[in-house]
Structure 1
Amino acid sequence: MSELRGVGIGLGIAQGPVIRMTEALPAPEKTSSTIGADAERARAREAISAVAAELTERGDLAGGAAQEVLEAQAMIAEDPTLQDEVDTRIDAGTTAEWAVHDAFAGFRATLEAVGGYLGERAADLEDIAQRVLAHLRGVAAPGVPDPGHPFVLVARDLAPADTALLKLDQVLALVTTDGGPTSHTAILAREKGIVAIVGAAEAAGLRDGETVIVDASSGVVVTDPSAEELERAAQRAADRLSAVAAPLTPGALADGTAIPLLANLGKPADAADAVARGAEGVGLFRTEFLFLSSAQAPTVEQQRESYRELLAAFPGKKVVVRMLDAGADKPLAFLNDAHEENPALGLRGLRALRASEDILREQLTALAEADAATEADLWVMAPMVATVEETKYFTALAREYGLKTPGVMVEVPAAALLADRVLAHADFASIGTNDLTQYTMAADRMLGSVADFQDPWHPAVLRLVREVGAAGARLGKPVGICGEAAADPLLAVVLVGLGATSLSMAPAALADVRQMLLGRTLDEAKQLAEAALAADDAASARTAAAQLAASLPQH
């Protein structure tokens, strides 16, 4: 027996035979066309259109965060600049296969050189190019294998198109050698409730057919397990299923301290699943879905209907709506189409809305009208707030429209360090741990080459969370967590120990977090937080908290 370590997603445990991801298609040779440039261009365009349509269809089927990712991939596939590059190579006499391969490779190199968000999108090009090549060759695209029996999937990483539609009755668990806790693979696995371990580099040595245990709660892949170990793992899996199937209860610690468990949602249609899984409200409703698919901003009427549908699903419950968070990884031509060298540090979030205040005012109008027509407890918050002045601006504007509870996202270290002054004007703060980690560690969250730095367990990030939590406690203002960190069950307890008063996450993570909270008192949560804060790095913070948790009695 040996153990391979990575970062576990959730508390699940599974066992089964390994099947490795199928290999990429070989690169085509550079040969001259025998059918002419017009025919080759037609083949290339048909293949690219077919792949874009397939990606969009997969997104529609998957919904949630997967849909946003796949729609972005479809847009990349049909990028006019990329199409021009393909045409140029075909006009030089090559085949569509070579033109696609070489154009995508060249485009990818260009994006990698730019870095940032565009650099991360370069990785998506490889998957798109493989799908186009497969269509041109009339063969199946590389992807998740189908051995005809349940299996543990092992891959370097998964393309969003593959993760989005994994067959949950066949894929027992997922192990990747690359990626971190905020990678696309991790986010989609968490959303779908897949037992997963990411960043397990040594898993590259696993062989097809060998039996492994994937223990996400400890971030360990056990190879060559004994019969006793397999039996214990099966019992733990059964116990977890029983816990998940238990009657839904409000989020709380073992001593009765209430910690409301809320859902992160991307569109109104996701509300029913969140309610069924026991969400006590919505801690983050992303409004971008209304804007990203349009060439122009949606009307007040269109927005109002979507907000009304959302609020109607949560009568009497808190629903926190984030104002349009455009820019960086979600550029919008009608809001900010200026080129920026580093868009993550540019005109995004509230900054972009202030530059186009009519869009902000229309959104506030629609929210106020939807609020008046429903019974939910509507809270609104501004994204990417960095200063006290920005806080005053947004809260005053929201109150001007009759919205009772305006707050801010704390994603920038400046806002965390001045949390007491920010919360003097805002009714609440919601910490976006993904961006807070990005800006604290100077590591672009969309850039795979610095994924190791993008870990919310880092003590520097936890210290900033503690600053906000302490300010909220002093001023009597709620402090929520709505980043991916809240979906990590052990980290969720640590965040409560740092002062978080509510946690919001993908609905699939609610059961695990609820179970973990019930096993700890507030005093124990504070002990775990102190253990993590005393560490020097993210890995040792996670280990310190886990070791202390193992030594404490279960309630």
Structure 2
Amino acid sequence: MEGTGVVSGLAYAPVAWVRRPEPPSLTGPELPADEVETAMEQFRLAADAVVEGLEHRAAKSEGDASEVLKMTAGLARDKAWRKSVNRHIKSGVQPVNAVAKATEEFVNLFLKAGGLMAERVTDLRDIRDRVAARLEGRPEPGLPEPSEPVVLLADDLAPVDTAGLDPELFVALATELGGPTSHTAIIARQLGIPCVVAVGKMNLLEEGDVVLLDGGEGTLRLGADPEQAKALVKQDLERREKIAAWSGPARTKDGHAVQLLANVQDPAGAARAAQSEAEGVGLFRTELCFLGTATEPSIDNQAKQYRGVFEAFAGHKVVVRTLDSGSDKPVPFATLADEPNPSLGVRGIRTLRINDGLLSNQLDAIKQATEGVDVEAWVMCPMISTLPEARDVTRQIRARGLKAGIMVEVPSTALLIDQFMNEVDFVSIGTNDLTQYVMAADRLSANLADFTTPWQPAVLNLMARVAEAGARKGKPVGVCGEAAADPLMACVLVGMGMTSLSMAAGAISAVGAALSEVTLEQCQAAARAVISAFDDEQAQNTARAILNLS
């Protein structure tokens, strides 16, 4: 069975299916009028309990897992969704059925919107099932509890389930849906669990069938020779042990230095990332500090959050991304409601069109947070697509004595990169959105998973174009999308001339270990070869052949 491999590695074990509960019915017995207030309170308590549980898990998680859990908690907290549930309860619908009806309304809206909003449908239905379970006095749905290591299978995994995976028990996972930048893929990559998504015909596998999963090839094999399979897994285990033993700073085999940085979302996550081999922060996602905030935080409150991250990486570089709200990150005070196409709408820097004070307040807070802290603060703005935007934000950032940069995630910016380089001090490529926009493909669509990989030659060409422009202008070019966490792709990016790679802290050792096995010349040869590839598969195979990574 073939799918899209998103985390390399091998596992040979019986399969265990995640079986989601039957969704609650849209209809039921009528709710008596004198029970409406009690029912609304029952719903509030159930939804609040789900939010509390998600936020508790987020606090214990790190990196992308924590981010995804916070975003999912935001759905359970969402005022519009709760208002819709209460509206149905007031009309005489039982609370469980009201939750189902309101959720289905939002599911239809999200699917109609497409893009990043459609990606949230799995998350929204997971919230529905958890709140319904609370209302009915049942345990919230979750993972199976195997007594031996298993390969976990699901149609699609909810973020809560993926973030809670124990790699000792769940040695690999595969899903029928999803794409290379889905929540399942992102968290699996952080945890280092071999993972394949968008697998066809996986429903033919039954509980207990023993399979060989290859996350590099993107395959599941039933009926593999047990001895051969175990030998392959043993070789892969040796590879992983080598990764675990790696220590920075990162260099290629011939001594070329590569700055490996961490993606963080709050002070707690930064403190955990500081214990890794990260040399600094390449992406501080500031919006994730404020997903649950109904109104814009004061400059002092923002500065307190930012200072915690700066203090965790004192003496190092911290790249702060200004507020990237909208689309799949609906920050209440910086997101338009009911946008017909949110991923192409008012998001990132475009939120200044509805609240023009957001950027100046945030920059003041960042500047305030640096006072008294030995930190090299760089600031970059997301979703920049025109030269006037770049010039304006750069002027404001530099006015506060900070290094000014932009994200390259809109194709127009990559196409005019030489002119953009004249305006800024540095750029960072967001490969997730750049790939989605270049290929015009929803990045969670299982049917389009082969389009939404950064191995697509068109995406590789644009990234190489950006790196070359940075070299000509003598300005740093980083990568902070999911592509940076792929060890094979990381070597190609270094060959293109990227000066830094930023990723979940848990992925740094794998990337560092891969770089230590190749020369800069090999990386450059791979980079030259992949941009001429016929398709994504040929690009990946060509890079693997040239780099010969173990």
Tell me the TM-score normalized by structure 2: 0.91
Counterparts in 2 of 1:307 and 1:534: CA distance versus 1, 3 Å: same
Between the two proteins, the alignment pairs up a number of residues equal to 548
Between 1:60-69 and 1:423-432, the stretch displaced more is 60-69
Consecutive unaligned residues of structure 1, counting only runs of 5 or more, are none
Between 1:38-47 and 1:363-372, the stretch displaced more is 38-47
1:13 aligns to what? Answer: 10
1:479-494 matched pairs, under 5 angstroms: 479-494=477-492
Deviation of 1:241 (Å): 3.7
1:319 aligns to what? Answer: 318
Deviation of 1:145 (Å): 0.7
Answer whether contact 1:279 1:507 (CA < 8 A) is retained.
yes
Between 1:295-304 and 1:88-97, the stretch displaced more is 88-97
Find the aligned partners of 1:482 and 1:31 in 2 and give their Cα distance.
48
Deviation of 1:26 (Å): 5.8
The AA in structure 2 aligned to 1:187 is I
1:381 aligns to what? Answer: 380
Counterparts in 2 of 1:166 and 1:200: CA distance versus 1, 3 Å: same
CA deviations 1:245-267 (Å, max 9, x no partner) are 32512112222111111111111
Find the aligned partners of 1:515 and 1:218 in 2 and give their Cα distance.
20
Find the aligned partners of 1:92 and 1:180 in 2 and give their Cα distance.
39
Find the aligned partners of 2:539 and 2:275 in 1 and give their Cα distance.
34
Find the aligned partners of 1:378 and 1:80 in 2 and give their Cα distance.
35
The AA in structure 1 aligned to 2:138 is V
Answer whether contact 1:10 1:489 (CA < 8 A) is retained.
no
1:502-517 matched pairs, under 5 angstroms: 502-517=500-515
Secondary structure, aligned partner of 1:398? helix
Answer whether contact 2:4 2:196 (CA < 8 A) is retained.
yes
Counterparts in 2 of 1:345 and 1:208: CA distance versus 1, 3 Å: same
Deviation of 1:40 (Å): 4.9
1:54-203 matched pairs, under 5 angstroms: 54-87=53-86, 89-90=88-89, 94-203=93-202
Answer whether contact 2:411 2:437 (CA < 8 A) is retained.
yes
Consecutive unaligned residues of structure 2, counting only runs of 5 or more, are none
Counterparts in 2 of 1:339 and 1:168: CA distance versus 1, 3 Å: same
2:467 aligns to what? Answer: 469
2:278 aligns to what? Answer: 279
Counterparts in 2 of 1:86 and 1:543: CA distance versus 1, 3 Å: same
The AA in structure 2 aligned to 1:318 is K
1:425 aligns to what? Answer: 423
Counterparts in 2 of 1:517 and 1:241: CA distance versus 1, 3 Å: same
Counterparts in 2 of 1:424 and 1:103: CA distance versus 1, 3 Å: closer
1:498 aligns to what? Answer: 496
- RMSD of aligned residue pairs (Cα, Å): 2.7
1:32 aligns to what? Answer: 29
1:354-393 matched pairs, under 5 angstroms: 356-393=355-392
Counterparts in 2 of 1:224 and 1:438: CA distance versus 1, 3 Å: same
Deviation of 1:479 (Å): 0.9
Find the aligned partners of 1:90 and 1:358 in 2 and give their Cα distance.
39
Deviation of 1:514 (Å): 1.0
CA deviations 1:294-321 (Å, max 9, x no partner) are 2222222222233222222223322211
Counterparts in 2 of 1:47 and 1:398: CA distance versus 1, 3 Å: closer
Answer whether contact 1:11 1:489 (CA < 8 A) is retained.
no
Counterparts in 2 of 1:216 and 1:474: CA distance versus 1, 3 Å: same
Deviation of 1:184 (Å): 0.7
1:309 aligns to what? Answer: 308
Secondary structure, aligned partner of 1:288? helix
The AA in structure 1 aligned to 2:66 is Q
1:455 aligns to what? Answer: 453
Tell me the TM-score normalized by structure 1: 0.90
Secondary structure, aligned partner of 1:453? coil
Counterparts in 2 of 1:106 and 1:513: CA distance versus 1, 3 Å: same
Deviation of 1:19 (Å): 0.7
Find the aligned partners of 1:475 and 1:34 in 2 and give their Cα distance.
68
Find the aligned partners of 1:44 and 1:366 in 2 and give their Cα distance.
38
Counterparts in 2 of 1:15 and 1:473: CA distance versus 1, 3 Å: same
Deviation of 1:464 (Å): 0.6
Between 1:122-131 and 1:134-143, the stretch displaced more is 134-143
Find the aligned partners of 1:318 and 1:120 in 2 and give their Cα distance.
32
1:269 aligns to what? Answer: 268
Between 1:501-510 and 1:528-537, the stretch displaced more is 528-537
The AA in structure 1 aligned to 2:333 is F
1:245 aligns to what? Answer: 244
Deviation of 1:44 (Å): 4.2
Answer whether contact 2:334 2:355 (CA < 8 A) is retained.
yes
